[in-house]
Structure 1
Amino acid sequence: MLPATFIAKKFVSILLLPPLAPLLIGAIGLLLIRRFRRTGLLLAWLGLACTLLLSLPASVAWLAGPLEDYPVISAEDLGRAQAIVILAGGRRSNAPEFGGETVSALTLERIRYGARLARRTRLPVLITGGAPAEGIPEAELMRRALIEDFGITPRWVETRSLDTRENALYSTTMLRQAGVTRIALVTHGLHMRRSIREFEATGLTVYPAPMGRATGKEHSNRDEVLSSLPSMSSAYSGWYALHEWLGLLQQKLAGRG
């Protein structure tokens, strides 16, 4: 049974994030137009504007840029770390080609980069992620992929956590038992600021190892006009960036920011 706070948090995030939030704003506006024409039109246009702004590469870059203010991890910082920690980013529950369940695309990107760092440094690896719904914990799916697809066997597998805060709390307990206090933290650039805060709050020294940037010149050789238009990838990045800003706000309200 999932904790009520976890369910409530997910429900609130669905209401506040696209695609539902802009749709609700627009729908409320349309319902009000007959009696309150000016207010209804304002809300309808606001919903449309929010949808557009959260899918335009330029506005998404403005929203995401401050979250990705971390460079590629340096050789010096890697040399200071005692372990590599890779955060889960979701799973695919319907993957018959992998026997039932497997890691999501986001998680796969993270473990691929974590495996690269592990091979380069020979540092031990911790993977962390529980099972928000019924099924195999994400960390267990990560363990299988790391071993079978990348030839890396993680030393620690944390399977209880349901969010980033619990990733940090439960992982730190396991790491401290092994005398580890300095980690290279692997997650997506958009997720890094919030993750650092949670892990540093436990007393660990964190060296950010961001990957999968949402901003930057990914398509420098493409037509500038086409690359500035709304796209599926920019809409996802807009959703992800807004999700992280809401997470940072929640951290601040909880006294952890």
Structure 2
Amino acid sequence: MFFILAKVTFAIIRPVTFALLMLALGVLLMRTQFSRAGRRLVTVTVLALLLVGFTPLAPLSIAPLEDRFPLPERVEPAPDGIVILGGALDEKVNDRRPGSYALSDAAERMTIVARLAREYPDARIVFTGGTGDLLDQSFSEAAIARRLFLDFGLPESRMTFEDKSRDTWENAVFTRDLIKPAPGSRWLLVTSAFHMPRAVGIFRKVGWPGLVPYSVDYRSRGFARIRPIPDSPVQNLLIFDTAVREYLGLVAYRLAGRSDDWFPAP
């Protein structure tokens, strides 16, 4: 129920979608006796989109999430395993084009595995991800990840795949039950930098020992290096969308008892 509620709620209130709905509502109101309210709604929405698109608001919003867990240069002692969270594969494209490796904008979650596998040759590689699609549950990211990692040259005997999880909570629970990490073991957790605070809070909540956050897929230059004039207004809208989703996710998971912290820290 949590998975369905989260998917439906954010599909409606995510900033870009919400802005489009407000624009549509404003245009409709302009054709009624509430035309003044419609004009005001359209004006406010357009100004909000311009604010997000043409100011540093978007990178400023996502930078605290990405800066929360700095990327370690070298993990010592070497980890016993590496857990990679799904979410980097375009489910619909891969489902309709068999044999393809259609990666999303979170592709670094997958490509970093080749380097980490070489850097830590004794670490077990664990991928966790089924599908986040609300309607079609037949697709599994794990199946595509297996093919990709084999193409990287990783031996089958070194890898484990969890293919039933639909969100980060299920990533943590299902993978913990599958791997049963031993007390005293060390595990790299690989996910997007903006997603790392929520992921760490969840993995800590389920009792995963020896967690070492390894952030990838950065969307900003960092809080101290934000430019006053953004490079791309469209990209800014997407970044702001992502940041809002994560902050809402942190609140929702804390209220649901799936994390012990509002904003998990190192």
Q: TM range, normalised to the smaller chain?
A: 0.7 to 0.9
Q: Label 1:36 to 1:99 Cα distance change in 2 as closer, same or farther (>3 A).
A: closer
Query: What is the deviation of 1:114?
Result: 2.4
Distance 1:156 1:179 in 2: 19
Once the two structures are superposed, residues 102-156 of structure 1 have per-residue CA deviations (whole angstroms, 9 ceiling, x without a partner) of 35234532111122112101111100000333444101211111111x2224521
Question: Which of the pair has the greater relative contact order for Cα pairs under 8 Å at 6+ separation?
Answer: 2
Is the Cα contact below 8 Å between 1:137 and 1:159 reproduced in 2? yes
* 1:249 alignment partner in structure 2: 251
8 Å CA contact 1:188–1:210 kept in 2: the answer is: yes
Alignment pair present for 1:105 and 2:114: no
1:233 to 235, 243, 259: 235
> Structure 2 CA distance, aligned partners of 1:243 and 1:181?
32
* AA at the equivalent of 1:192: M
DSSP 3-state at the match of 1:72? coil
Distance 2:55 2:218 in 1: 13
- In the other structure, the counterpart of 2:128 is 128
| Equivalent residue number for residue 148 of structure 2 | 145
Distance 2:149 2:255 in 1: 36
Question: Number of residue pairs matched?
Answer: 246
Counterpart contact for 1:57–1:228, Cα < 8 Å: yes
**How far apart, CA to CA, are the structure 1 residues paired with 2:22 and 2:41?**
6
Q: 1:141 to 1:178 in 2, by over 3 A?
A: farther
1:216 to 217, 221, 236: 221
* Cα distance in 2, alignment partners of residues 106 and 179 from structure 1: 35
Question: For residues 215-254 of structure 1, what are the alpha-carbon distances to aligned partners after superposition, in whole Å with 9 as ceiling and x for unaligned?
Answer: 117xx9xxx78x6254333332222111111111211221
Counterpart of 1:193 in structure 2: which amino acid?
Answer: P
Q: Is the 8 A contact 1:65 1:215 kept in 2?
A: yes
Indicate if the aligned counterparts of 1:78 and 1:184 stay in contact, CA closer than 8 A. no
The equivalent residue for 2:264 is none
Q: Does residue 196 of the first structure (1) align with residue 200 of the second (2)?
A: yes
- Match in the other structure for 2:77: 79
Contact 1:67 1:189 in 2 (8 A): yes
Question: Residue 205 of structure 2 aligns to which amino acid in structure 1?
Answer: A
Task: Give how far 1:193 is off.
Answer: 0.8
Structure 1 gaps, min length 5: none
Secondary structure, aligned partner of 1:157: strand
Cα-to-partner distance string for 1:5-47 (whole Å, 9 max, x where unaligned): 4333212111111321011223333444554566444432332
Task: Indicate the residue corresponding to 1:29 in structure 2.
Answer: 26
Is 1:10 the equivalent of 2:4? Answer: no
> Which residue, 65, 75, 96 being the options, matches 1:67?
65
1:161 match: secondary structure: coil
User: Which shows bigger deviation, 20-29 or 48-57?
Assistant: 48-57
Q: CA RMSD in A?
A: 2.8
Q: TM-score, normalised by structure 2?
A: 0.80
- In structure 1, give the amino acid aligned to 2:166: L
Which structure carries more helix by proportion?
Answer: 1
Q: 1:21 to 1:96 in 2, by over 3 A?
A: closer
| SS of structure 1 residue aligned to 2:53 | coil
Q: Report the Cα offset of residue 53 of structure 1.
A: 3.6
Pick closer, same or farther for the CA change 1:161–1:25 going to 2, 3 Å. Answer: same
